[in-house]
Amino acid sequence: MDHPLIAKLEQFSRLSDEDRRTLEILTEGPVRRFASRADIVREGEAPRAVRLILSGWACRYKQLPNGRRQIVALFLPGDLCDHNVFVLSEMDHSIGTLSPVALVEIPPPAFEEMMTVRPRVTRALWWESLVNAATQREWILNLGGRDAVERLAHLFCELFYRLRGIGHMQDGGCDLPLTQTDLAEVAGLTPVHVNRTLQSLRRQGLLELRGRRLTIPDLPALERVASFNPNYLHLDRVGARFDA
């Protein structure tokens, strides 16, 4: 398998062999593995290292006193849990897995040293954190401005682009470990209504969803339904990699 962080950053800028090697060395620490549905960090704990997801799906989530849980971000392979967390004394949210996950923890000093010697990588990492922020904003728009059908359609469009960027889409399809309850916690809906909404998307031929496999037969159509605009992903070099 290709290195997911390198694959991700190369969507933004071309990296030299030297850059790539630096990233490989940085992330070759011991691999930590987590079961599905386990917590990686909990709200209230002190942040320690920078974490890189190597495989599997994870999420940031926050819990309300009434028991409701809201997923506020999804982590896919190649995603970093914010570079500078260690400035903060306490986590304001938890990070948990949605499937079995493998990750490495990058020691902050190694991270900072790399920033001084590899400017192109540093710039690419700034890009990645700005894209994260933009994605958060898009989720706010999604929750505040779109109805259930548009909201789920938008989520699947985003996942399509993000998974393709790390080479996880094969012929319009991907593995989707999320349950309908997970989707509900992402979309701010109830599981029942997620089910209704998925039925509707399927009936319209916008989605196939069998077992743990998602297929998007007609991405442009889905994008139209979602009023999806990928500009917030800032995929500057995408033409170089995916055009015919």
Q: Is 195 in the site for DNA (CB under 7 A)?
A: yes
CB contact at 8 A, 131 and 206: no
Which CB sits closer to DNA, 121 or 198?
198
Which CB sits closer to DNA, 131 or 194?
194
Q: Which residues bind a copy of itself (CB under 8 A)?
A: 43, 60, 62, 64-66, 68, 70, 72-73, 82, 84-85, 87-90, 92-93, 123, 126-127, 129-130, 132-134, 136-141, 143-146, 187-188, 227, 231-232, 234, 236
Question: Minimum distance between the CB of residue 129 and a copy of itself, rounded to whole angstroms?
Answer: 8
Tokens in use for 6?
């390198």
User: Which 106-165 positions form the footprint of DNA (CB under 7 A)?
Assistant: 147-149
Question: Minimum distance between the CB of residue 199 and DNA, rounded to whole angstroms?
Answer: 5
Q: Which one of residues 29, 108, 172, 188 is an interface residue with DNA (CB under 7 A)?
A: 188
Q: Is 63 in the site for DNA (CB under 7 A)?
A: no
Question: Minimum distance between the CB of residue 212 and DNA, rounded to whole angstroms?
Answer: 8
Which CB sits closer to DNA, 91 or 149?
149
Q: What are phi and psi of 227, to 5 degrees?
A: 35, 60
Footprint on this chain of DNA (rule: CB under 7 A) = 147-149, 179-181, 188-193, 195-199, 211
